[in-house]
Chain A
């Protein structure tokens, strides 16, 4: 099915609900609907299996229009349909939930309600997702009149927690500080002996308010800010942003630059998957695989350093192209490194599929069927391991992927072993693609001129990060900075699958299950709540630091 046919189909499905509709770009359809029609419209798309819910963006249209807008983005292959709902700009306007039909929407709705200040009626979990418990009510970061001074923490009074038993459940907390987690997140697992009976989670420990921060920086500065959303998929974020902004400005990037971007993205995929392999092995207790895969990862890091100037945060994208070129002197190193990496990756593939003790920890554990994967809205290799064919590089080729395509790698069983197999096979495909690029780099410039002001408009940019689809919605008002930038990282979509799959497994499998979806958390600067025996008070980071220094000075 071509993109036009898909959009046509969506248009027909939404015809009974559409107040107005238009095609702002060749691959997008925007449909205005009333809040009341939202569940029916979403159901129409979901019943016809038209794509999946990719993100929900909340926007404050002030000061131009005194309204709030919620955008529901659905993606099917390369076609993107956005349902646009206008809401009155008051405190907590209501909008109905679509989570009963689309469970994956729950996380997005939580974010929408806490950031924009809307009440999502009927959502299964209305609690906060990213904002901390001591964030004051009535203060919404996504609104235009938000001031950070308003967000002074409000004291939270908590009962002293009971040691272990909560009613009939024995709750094991994992995080925010736990050796299993490389980044903070909070999970509460109710266990019965060793078997898990329930799971809850809390995010936001590394939430930095980057979306809001982009509104105060110019287009070029944002490139570097967005690179630092994540350390392991930094290039993905930079290239997604650059791609979107270039589309808005109508700038055509030279093919050589696009090929170099794809090359660096491929190297990033190798380094990310090897990192993940090591971390998962460590979670399983197989430290040797951890050590060896990270040793071999050094080859990729050194290659990236040689080509881009840094091992992490390569900063190779600029608006209009790339900064550094791949020249003839590099070709030999590239080929030698790729040969070595391919040999080692084949070896690791063999290890994860044949080692008896490792298979005992991964085979038939966390099995997710194709239906479940679709229902939970999973993305990336986690979804592909269950047979769900979703890969932006193949569905909606961007950049140089039309010239240097990749094949999609899927597996059938959907257990942990399948996830290992998919990722390792993906790397083998990537190595082959990288060789093709290195040998056939298109001639030409590596960058073109880019205007300092980007014309007004909206666009959607989707890129395949090592963890799945990274979704960017960028709105420009014609000035130096974006008006609204929405980032939906792939890990957010995969949490639902973990929380659902974990029930029924043993506690010992939990780190592997979490690691199996390759999580990448997001972060926040938190206040510390200290529980002293008789009172509960909040102290700031500065006070805590002072307290610690003084305590040891006394001794």
Chain B
């Protein structure tokens, strides 16, 4: 039976530097396998859509610009993503990777969370389509 069983620990700590990591002044590296922001390589995509189907958070959609010419755009919602890496598993062609360093994603601007991956021309086409006014409903005769 002791009074003050943690005495030694306390005294040793008193003379040692604290273990607190002084983020953001000191940043330590994340592990190599750390799962952070998604990165999509449109070159190998075939439009099978498995990644989008299997995403538990509905964060990834593959937009088909031109299936025959293999032009795809991946629309990625960073704020919906749960960084589970299922998309990485589901993709048979290794188009998707999760970065292990881009994890400081907080932002004051919600629009910056929607990220599009693809060739610039394709992304432009996608954005045009997305922003185009809705077509007029057919007139009832």
Contacts and interface: CB of A to CB of B under 8 A. Distances in A.
Given A306-B33, A318-B89, A224 B56 contact: yes
A309 interface: yes
Contact of A220 (B3, B10, B54): B54
B116 to A, nearest CB: 23
Nearest to A217: B56
Contact of A350 (B3, B4, B5, B33): B5
A309 B54 CA distance: 19
A459 interface: no
Contacts of B89: 318, 323
A47 interface: no
B4 A355 contact: yes
B3 A323 contact: no
A224 B6 contact: no
A348 B89 CA distance: 40
Contacts of B86: 220-221, 223-224, 315, 318
A288 B10 contact: yes
A313 B34 CA distance: 12
With most chain B CB atoms within 10 A of its CB, the pick from A288, A351, A358 is A288
Contacts of A354: 1-2, 5
A78 B67 CA distance: 52
Contact of A315 (B2, B3, B84, B100): B84
B3 A218 contact: no
Contact of A305 (B2, B10, B30): B30
Contacts of A227: 84
Given A288-B6, A292-B6, A354-B2, A224 B82 contact: yes
Contacts of A305: 30-31, 33-34
Contacts of A530: none
Interface of B is mostly: loop
Nearest to B3: A356
Contacts of B53: 218
A289 B6 CA distance: 8
A488 to B, nearest CB: 22
Contacts of B34: 305, 309-310
Contacts of B32: 306
Nearest to B83: A310
Contacts, number: 79
B55 interface: yes
B9 interface: yes
Nearest to B18: A295
A250 B10 CA distance: 55
A358 B5 CA distance: 10
A347 B6 CA distance: 9
A357 B55 CA distance: 51
B90 interface: yes
A199 interface: no
Contacts of B5: 350-351, 354-355, 358
B2 A356 contact: yes
B6 A309 contact: no
Interface in B80-97: 82-86, 89-90
Contacts of B30: 305
Interface string B1-22: 1111110011000000001000
A299 B46 CA distance: 42
A359 interface: yes
A288 B11 CA distance: 12
A178 B90 CA distance: 43
A450 to B, nearest CB: 11
Interface in A408-452: none
A289 B5 CA distance: 10
A386 B31 CA distance: 41
Nearest to A221: B56
A417 to B, nearest CB: 13
Nearest to A296: B19
Contacts of A190: none
B103 to A, nearest CB: 10
A306 B84 contact: no
Contacts of A224: 56-57, 82, 84, 86
B90 A309 contact: no
With most chain A CB atoms within 10 A of its CB, the pick from B10, B34, B82, B84 is B84
Contacts of A280: none
Interface of A: 217-218, 220-225, 227-228, 288-289, 292, 295, 298, 302, 305-310, 313, 315, 318, 323-324, 347, 350-351, 354-359
7 contacts: A223-B56, A288-B9, A289-B6, A305-B30, A306-B31, A309-B98, A315-B86
Given A313-B84, A347-B9, 15 more contacts: A218-B53, A220-B54, A220-B56, A221-B54, A224-B57, A288-B6, A288-B10, A295-B19, A306-B31, A310-B83, A318-B86, A323-B89, A351-B6, A355-B2, A356-B2
Closest 6 CB pairs of A and B: A224-B56, A309-B33, A355-B5, A221-B56, A306-B31, A309-B35
